[in-house]
Amino acid sequence: MATAQRGVTIWFTGLSGSGKSTIARALEAELRQRGCQLEVLDGDIVRTNLTKGLGFSKEDRDENIRRIGFVAHLLTRNGVVVLVSAISPYREARDTVRDRIGDFVEVFVDAPLNICEDRDVKGLYKKARAGEIKQFTGIDDPYEAPLNPEVHCHTDQQSVEESVAQVIDKLEAMGYLAAAAVV
């Protein structure tokens, strides 16, 4: 049975390894159980398809976010819940996407750099520190943390389930998601 829902983009931003995709996947499972119509736009998958060929200069990163935001806007305005998981390091690019979409919930997935490095299964931080990867966010390229995210998950202190519950609580409070029936 489908639940009452409004289209919204839930934008997970944070350093590589902070837990963006992990929380987004867990939230996806919870929202699908509730009957939500949704799509997931994961930064890694989008980069291999929609934005292939873009590099990691500020201009290319901004273009990457603009393209993801365009797709998210199309889906959101058609009543779809969109989960975007992308580092999106620059505040101005995120704010531009927020303004375009309107129905937008920013989730800052926050973990200290050393924790992100410890979680790095792909070895990207190690390569960046060795100079093998240039313009790596958090190492030699900045990450501009959100100033007023709707949700701030501290993944070094919270479980995935606690972070998901925090996002769901906010979606319910903002009217994007009906409260789950208590069984």
| DSSP result, 11-44 | EEE--TTSSHHHHHHHHHHHHHHTT--EEEEEHH
Per-residue pLDDT of 89-140, as tens digits, reads: 999 999 999 999 999 999 999 999 999 999 998 898 999 899 898 888 989 8
**DSSP-based three-state secondary structure for 161:** helix
Has 57 been labeled as part of a binding site?
Answer: no
Specify the range with the lowest mean pLDDT, choosing from 25-29, 130-134, 179-183.
179-183
Has 53 been labeled as part of a binding site?
Answer: no
Residue 3 confidence (pLDDT) above 60: no
Residue 160 confidence (pLDDT) above 90: yes
Q: Which domains are seen in the chain, by residue range?
A: 8-174 (3.40.50.300)
Q: What residues act catalytically? A: 88
Has 58 been labeled as part of a binding site?
Answer: no
